[in-house]
């Protein structure tokens, strides 16, 4: 028998207590994993929106707390077009309305002549041509709403005829619809306003130069976003989710750590006499410390594994319950790495005190323990 196999065996002596401790820590880990997957999904989806249709960067209102609350005067579309290096620009208004069973149905208003800048591919029917009550809906929306070309859907208080089905690869857009900018401005009572402006630059131009020129000229009212990092400087929504994610990780460490301390202290109490025997047969203090700390790490690593599986199952359940049309989960390795780092930290912090205590037990007192 190796020292390692002894460490692996010991936590499972009291299976019920170990199982309860594992579940307690695993819930924290599952929350970290699930939140991480959702956050990464939101970031990826937002990044896709920023780069829609091959736009090189996006313009939103300056000092706005959330990108989708941005309101930019649509006169800036023409102003931006005249900036050196800009090839084309299009204003886009976004809105969210409950449609069918989806409370977060995305409606994007865009000039019909510039629809190609959204990067969409019409898979069935045709795109809308003017400012009539026409709509094209995404492939995912068509499936969820069970609608096809020629059917109608109610947006705002009016019926819109579906002229085509599109696909962009962006889950939010594919789960929503496009109508003419004018129609959406009327529907949302935002005349002359757009949420953002997609900008495409000329082949020989550089994004940094063009964004700088725009910021220099119009930086008082609008700001440019060419990367997710830029967005996070502007949009507090993603930062809030990131902060919440870290706060939950910290909470999981504290709660999990207390759980581990409790479990390991109970274990050390129960085995006081045994620890006395180990000292009597010549075990060094540091070996006893290593054994208890190792047991704590085994406990939390098992919890890390269970929590990761629980987190993935929770995400699958949420996707099945309707979130699938809104967020595309991203299973990035760093989320799982973070979960295991948290588990290891919990194990080290929670296990240290019981391990130290066990290692310092005087042998005669330990052997007398009833």
Partner 1 sequence: MNDENIVEIKNLKKGFDNGKITALNGVNLIIKKGEFVSIIGPSGSGKSTLLNMIGALDKADEGSVSVAGYDLTKNKDLSEFRSKEIGFIFQLHNLIPNLSVVENVEIPMFERSMSGKSMRNKALKLLEYMHLSDKLTRKPTELSGGERQRVAIARALANDPSIILADEPTGSLDSKNGQMILQRLKDLHENENVTLIMVTHDMNVASMAQRTIKVLDGRIQN
Answer whether 225's CB lies under 8 Å from 257's CB.
no
283 binds partner 1 (CB under 8 A): yes
Applying CB under 8 A, which of residues 144, 279, 328, 338 lies at the interface with partner 1? 279
364 binds partner 1 (CB under 8 A): yes
As a whole number of angstroms, the longest Cα–Cα distance in the chain is 92
121 binds partner 1 (CB under 8 A): no
CB of 286 to partner 1, least distance (A): 9
CB of 1 to partner 1, least distance (A): 5
At a CB cut-off of 8 Å and minimum separation 6, what does 124 contact?
Answer: 148, 149, 164, 165
Run of H or E including 132: none
At a CB cut-off of 8 Å and minimum separation 6, what does 42 contact?
Answer: 238, 241, 327
Q: Which residue stretch of 5-13, 170-178, 195-203, 223-231 sits at the interface with partner 1 (rule: CB under 8 A)? A: 5-13
360 binds partner 1 (CB under 8 A): no
CB atoms within 10 A of CB 101: 10
CB of 22 to partner 1, least distance (A): 18
206 binds partner 1 (CB under 8 A): no
CB of 346 to partner 1, least distance (A): 24
Q: What is the rounded CA–CA span in Å between residue 33 and residue 53?
A: 31
CB of 306 to partner 1, least distance (A): 22
110 binds partner 1 (CB under 8 A): no
DSSP tally for the chain: helices H, then strands E: 13, 12
What is the DSSP track for 205-257? Answer: --HHHHHHHHHHHHTTTEEEE-SHHHHHHH-HHHHHHHHHHHHHHHHHHHHHH
Residue closer to partner 1 by CB (options 104, 369) is 369
Q: Which residue stretch of 142-150, 192-200, 339-347, 362-370 sits at the interface with partner 1 (rule: CB under 8 A)? A: 362-370
CB of 20 to partner 1, least distance (A): 19
Applying CB under 8 A, which of residues 277, 313, 317, 337 lies at the interface with partner 1? 277
Answer whether 190's CB lies under 8 Å from 5's CB.
no
Q: What are phi and psi of 347, to 5 degrees?
A: -65, -45
Q: Which residue stretch of 135-143, 181-189, 220-228, 274-282 sits at the interface with partner 1 (rule: CB under 8 A)? A: 274-282
CB of 326 to partner 1, least distance (A): 50
Answer whether 135's CB lies under 8 Å from 124's CB.
no
End-to-end CA distance of the chain: 28
Q: What is the rounded CA–CA span in Å between residue 51 and residue 4?
A: 51
Q: What is the rounded CA–CA span in Å between residue 239 and residue 236?
A: 5
Residue closer to partner 1 by CB (options 195, 359) is 359
Q: What is the rounded CA–CA span in Å between residue 311 and residue 246?
A: 16
Residue closer to partner 1 by CB (options 101, 362) is 362
9 binds partner 1 (CB under 8 A): yes
Binding letters toward partner 1, positions 284-323, x by CB under 8 A: xx-x------------------------------------
Given the rule CB under 8 A, which residues bind partner 1? Answer: 1-3, 6, 9-10, 13, 273-274, 276-285, 287, 362-364, 367
């Amino acid at each position: 028998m190796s020292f390692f196999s002894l460490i692996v065996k010991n936590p499972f002596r009291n299976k019920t207590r170990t199982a309860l401790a594992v579940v307690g820590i695993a819930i924290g880990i599952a929350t970290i994993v699930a939140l991480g997957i959702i956050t990464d999904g939101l970031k990826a989806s937002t990044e896709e929106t920023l780069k829609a249709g091959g736009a090189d960067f996006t313009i939103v209102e300056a000092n706005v707390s959330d990108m989708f609350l941005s309101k930019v005067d649509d006169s800036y579309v023409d102003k931006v077009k005249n900036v050196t290096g800009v090839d084309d620009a299009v204003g886009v208004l976004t809105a969210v309305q409950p449609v069918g069973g989806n409370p977060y149905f995305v409606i994007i208003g865009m000039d019909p002549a510039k629809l190609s800048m959204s990067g969409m591919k019409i898979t069935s029917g045709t795109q809308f041509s003017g400012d009539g009550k026409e709509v094209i809906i995404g492939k995912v929306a068509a499936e969820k709403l069970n609608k096809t070309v020629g059917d109608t859907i109610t947006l705002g208080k009016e019926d819109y005829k579906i002229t085509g089905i599109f696909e962009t690869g962006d889950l939010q857009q594919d789960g929503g619809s496009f109508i003419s900018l004018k129609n959406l401005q009327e529907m949302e009572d935002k005349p002359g306003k757009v949420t953002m402006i997609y900008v495409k630059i000329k082949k020989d131009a550089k994004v940094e130069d063009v964004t700088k020129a725009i910021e220099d000229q119009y930086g008082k009212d609008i700001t440019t976003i060419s990367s997710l990092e830029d967005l996070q400087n502007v949009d507090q929504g993603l930062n809030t989710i990131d902060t919440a994610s870290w706060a939950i990780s910290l909470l999981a460490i504290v709660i999990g750590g207390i759980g581990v301390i409790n479990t390991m202290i109970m274990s050390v109490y129960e085995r006081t006499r045994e620890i006395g025997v180990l000292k009597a047969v010549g075990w060094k203090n540091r070996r006893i410390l290593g054994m208890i700390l190792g047991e704590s790490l085994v406990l939390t690593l098992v919890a890390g594994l269970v929590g990761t599986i629980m987190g993935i199952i929770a995400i699958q359940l949420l996707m099945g319950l309707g979130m699938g049309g809104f967020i595309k989960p991203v299973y990035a390795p760093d989320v799982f790495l973070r979960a295991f780092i948290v588990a290891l930290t919990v194990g080290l912090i929670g296990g240290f005190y019981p391990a130290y205590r066990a290692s310092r037990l005087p042998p005669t007192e330990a052997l007398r323990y009833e």
